[in-house]
Amino acid sequence: MSSTIPAATADSALAGLSLEQKAGLTSGQDFWTTKEAPGVPSIMLTDGPHGVRKQRAGSDHMGIADSVPATCFPPAVALGSSFDPALLERVGVALGEEARAEGVGVLLGPGINIKRSPLCGRNFEYLSEDPLVSGMLGAALVRGLQSQGVGASLKHFAANNQETDRMRVSADIDERPLREIYLRGFQRVVEEAKPWTVMCSYNRLNGVYTSQNRWLLTSVLRDEWGFDGVVVSDWGAVVDRVAALRAGLDLAMPASNGRADAELVAAVRAGELDESVLDTGAARMIDLVRKASMGADASAGYDAAAHHALAREAAAASIVLLKNDGILPLGRSAPVAVIGELARTPRYQGAGSSLINPTKLESALDEIAALTGSRPAFAAGYSNDGSATAQQTADAVATASAAQTVLLFLGVPAEQESEGFDRDDIELPAAQVELLEAVLAANPRTVVVLSNGGVVRLSGFSERVPAIVEGWLLGQGGGGAIADVLYGVVSPSGRLAETIPVRLEDSPAYLDFPGEHGHVRYGEGLFVGYRWYDARAIDVSYPFGHGLSYTSFEYSDASASVDATGVTVRVGVTNTGSRDGAEVVQVYSEFPGSAVARAARQLSGFAKVMIAAGERREVEVRISRDELAYWDTRASRWMVESGACTLSIGASSRDIRSTVSVEIVGEEVRAPLTAESSIAEVLAHPVAGPLVMQALATGPAAEMMDDPSAMRMMAAAPIGRMIAMAGTVDPAQLEQLLAAANGHAAP
């Protein structure tokens, strides 16, 4: 990237540009850089989000084959389980340092789409099934990255929750789930962290391509949320360049051999596109280039060893100990056997556009040897593709039989999880399951260590093994992180950011995923992830928020106080074990008297705290008033209900340690009354109710009003039709009463 810093403002820079030059600023120069113009240098955008995937000069455009070395931090599937915004901000800072050292102006990430289905092939690149977790952690990554003068690109906006037909499918979502689940995390990141760019997704949203969805890109993103940066397309997402610019998409990537520029110029000259619309997009691009140029430093470098250490620390903080019957942590002198090719040849990242060429790569097998001082017995057990021969199985059984404890590494092969396609199931490879059964028969002291980008079914064996370590995809330091956790150098502190179901058939989107004939209906509505399982009391293998430690925590003295901006929850947490450890205190809200459908429990705040052995800390979790709101479809805005709010404090959505209740003073939203309003709605209105009751005090309607059964039967009937049948009030009088209630006239 050029080090030139445009001295002029966007307006004055624009004044000197031709129509063609302005159009050029809104499209790519090639696959990864923007076009330059007089006084406006080109900048580079490159893939993230868990590392800097910059292509070497002369490599293929997609760059899958070659990229410069960079630290491969844990992908989002792991970082989400850390529940640690401070850690993710540090990772963001490191990503920014590496991007700046490589002359990159914008790093394409983070991805914060919701994990709607465990089958989504790109779940490894997303943080959580919950918008609060996705939003808080996504904001932390953006803050860290942009603190180094490198822009983030928040993606994929919006509703990119599957890979099947991803470039055409319409995600058909009702208004409340769209706002409360699928847009809520984006809103938080935009408002709190102010990313320089937002990347639109490929798919359609309720029938309209997001690249040309003015409601999404302008009405919501800019007018409501105050976004003032650049909207960039996902690579190849633009269908109609003129419609996209008009909708608010500023930069179309990659280069189109001049086609996109020519379409814009022709539309302006034909009077089909106002030149001011092009000016707006070009001005935003000039501002982005200005910010990126100001952050550029040709002499910048980074400490690769320190970044590797951070990658290992982040990986260890993201590992989730799902089960432990006391077998872990291991003693360094305990004789163990390591079985599974994944221990020797780690799967540490997903496939596709986020593929990083690591600066260093640790294997669990090597790191266990380094930690214990001796190389453990090892058997591959299976091949990289998940298949196994009879000889591999026999060797593994013999190795297991001779050991005191077995560390069995299992996982999903890389070819089954990638950008571009969805998974067929949530099963481990059949050969690995057979290996597990054979090893367990030979040695029941078997610890299962998992490597996977999306959840896998554990219900077939979880009750029969003494310990399960969910290792996700952990980046280049994952091998050392696993060794650190297995041997107690680090006490595990990761928590599940997504539910592990007993069966795929139990998952919320099972009947609708991935849709048909170009449409996918989000039929589960608001009830995504744990909201679904908890509302329906469905058994799960491991619930959202779950994760064990090598110590234990006791909760006490919970309290909550309400003020004008939210609720502060305080709870005493004591480390009752003999080891230091970190606990994730989770607070879930419930509105038992809500007038609308809501989750039985909704995560509204959390805090990760390190507590020394024997120490008691008062943990404070702040819940903003916004987190207690729902999207009111009548008023098209967020609304907080008045009434009792139950706050459940615990270690997972199903491990509640304490409950407190607070009274919330909310807002009243009343839809205007009409003759089609129901009798119940009219009678519940503080003005209309008494007026109508008085008008119906005599005649046939009075008998109905005095009969509870009749009233219950007729409560949903439109008042205008019931009044007409009763004959005691004429339509004009009813309209006058309703107008008075709506505040338009006196009764």
Active site residues: 234
Where b means 16+ CB within 10 Å and e means fewer, 384-412 reads eebebeeebbebbbebbeebebbbbbbbb
Other C-beta atoms lying within 10 Å of the C-beta of residue 441: 12
Cα atoms in the Cβ-side hemisphere of radius 13 Å centred on 485? 32
Where b means 16+ CB within 10 Å and e means fewer, 590-603 reads bbeeeeeebbbbbb
SS3 580: coil
Is the four-CA dihedral 645, 646, 651, 655 of positive or negative sign? negative
3-state secondary structure 408-450: EEEECCHHHCECCECCCCCCCCHHHHHHHHHHHHHCCCEEEEE
Q: Please choose, from the candidates 219, 256, 257, 262, the residue with its C-alpha nearest in 3D space to the C-alpha of residue 238.
A: 256
Structure tokens at 321: 């100990």
Residue found by looking up tokens 């959840």 in the block: 455
**What percent of the chain is helix, strand and coil (3-state, nearest 5)?**
35, 20, 45
Q: How far apart are CA 337 and CA 110, in angstroms?
A: 38
Residue found by looking up tokens 């928040």 in the block: 154
Kindly state the helix (H) or strand (E) to which residue 23 belongs, with its residue range: helix 19-25
Q: How far is CA 220 from the centre of its chain?
A: 19
3-state secondary structure 500-514: EECCHHHCCCCCCCC
Under a CB-based contact definition with an 8 Å cutoff, are residues 526 and 181 in contact?
yes
State phi, psi for 684 to the nearest 5 degrees: -80, -15
Q: Please choose, from the candidates 54, 125, 56, the residue with its C-alpha nearest in 3D space to the C-alpha of residue 95.
A: 54
Q: How far apart are CA 40 and CA 289, in angstroms?
A: 7
Under a CB-based contact definition with an 8 Å cutoff, are residues 572 and 552 in contact?
no
DSSP letter (8 states) at residue 668: -
Strands (E), 214-315: 230-232
Cα atoms in the Cβ-side hemisphere of radius 13 Å centred on 515? 22
Helices (H), 102-226: 131-146, 175-177, 184-193, 214
State phi, psi for 376 to the nearest 5 degrees: -75, 160
